[in-house]
Amino acid sequence: MHLTDPLTLLFFVLGLVLGSFGNVLIERLPKNKKVSGRSKCPECKKQISNVDLIPVLSYILLQGKCRNCSEKISIQYPLVELGSGILFVIALLITPASVFSAIFLAVILWLMLIMSVIDFKTHTIPDALNISFVILAILYSYVTGYIPILAPLIAAGFFFAQWRISAGKWVGSGDIILAAGIGFLLGNWEYVLVMLGVSYIAGSLVALPLLLFKKKGKKEHLAFGPFLAIGTLVVLIWGDQILRILI
Ligand SMILES: [Zn+2]
């Protein structure tokens, strides 16, 4: 496996293109807008031409501005496209045995990216995405081995307990569904524990400076979905190495 392999490049380009579609979901799903239909500039409402819809490249060529009204285009667009491209390559690198499993995993990681960005922006994850994620994770575990029971139970149970104790203040119900999906994806409970550890470390690294500099009050909570996604990605890539150090 080499980064300049035609297959790696193909995965990267596929990821960029799906990332572009991901931006459409990020913009429209939380507002309950139709997912189909051409993209328009949110400022001048002019339909965006095909030449300006090339992932990442169009943003660079347009210098981050709408061709018609020069309104700034959010950096979210190229970042999600690039992130999606990188996730597709990572999926290929960690599942080299089968291109089918790699594509499957790539789509699951792409979905996690989209859910994370929506959670970050709106503090909620659309059920349609969350439930699709759980179903895909169950199918993925079935295709690549067996459907685990303990891992999703522990992951979802951990968030369900917090949700019950705090009456939904510490975590959202979306976190419970997301965690169940992650449990199916990771497959064993040791990985789930490492994923939780990494997620909380990543969360504190971001939350502590925000609290110290009073950017966020104690009562406002940080969306946890993105940190669960980071923890999951770290375990998928380095899970075995981390477990070997810990045990
Ligand atoms: Zn415009």
13 Cα: distance to centroid of ligand 1 (angstroms): 26
18 Cα: distance to centroid of ligand 1 (angstroms): 23
Domain boundaries, the chain: 1-94, 98-247
Q: What is the pLDDT of residues 181-206, one digit of tens each?
A: 999 999 999 999 999 999 999 999 99
- Coil/strand/helix, residue 216: coil
What pLDDT is attached to residue 220? 65
Quote the tokens at residue 99: 């291109």
What pLDDT is attached to residue 216? 60
Selection from 76, 91, 83 nearest residue 113 by Cα: 83
27 Cα: distance to centroid of ligand 1 (angstroms): 16
Q: What is the pLDDT of residues 85-120, one digit of tens each?
A: 999 999 999 997 899 999 999 999 999 999 999 999
Length of the chain: 247
53 Cα: distance to centroid of ligand 1 (angstroms): 13
The residues whose Cβ lies within 5 A of ligand 1, an ion, are 41, 43-44, 66, 68-69, 71
- Coil/strand/helix, residue 67: coil
Selection from 178, 82, 101, 181 nearest residue 138 by Cα: 181
* Residue 49 CB neighbour total at 10 angstroms: 12
- Coil/strand/helix, residue 150: helix
73 Cα: distance to centroid of ligand 1 (angstroms): 9
31 Cα: distance to centroid of ligand 1 (angstroms): 20
14 Cα: distance to centroid of ligand 1 (angstroms): 27
Q: What is the pLDDT of residues 23-77, one digit of tens each?
A: 999 999 999 888 888 999 989 999 999 999 999 999 999 999 999 999 999 999 9
45 Cα: distance to centroid of ligand 1 (angstroms): 6
* Residue 34 CB neighbour total at 10 angstroms: 6
Q: Which distant-in-sequence residues (6+ apart) come within 8 Å of 78 by Cβ?
A: 55, 56, 59, 60
Q: pTM here?
A: 0.93
37 Cα: distance to centroid of ligand 1 (angstroms): 17
DSSP 50: G
Q: How far is CA 186 from the centre of its chain?
A: 15
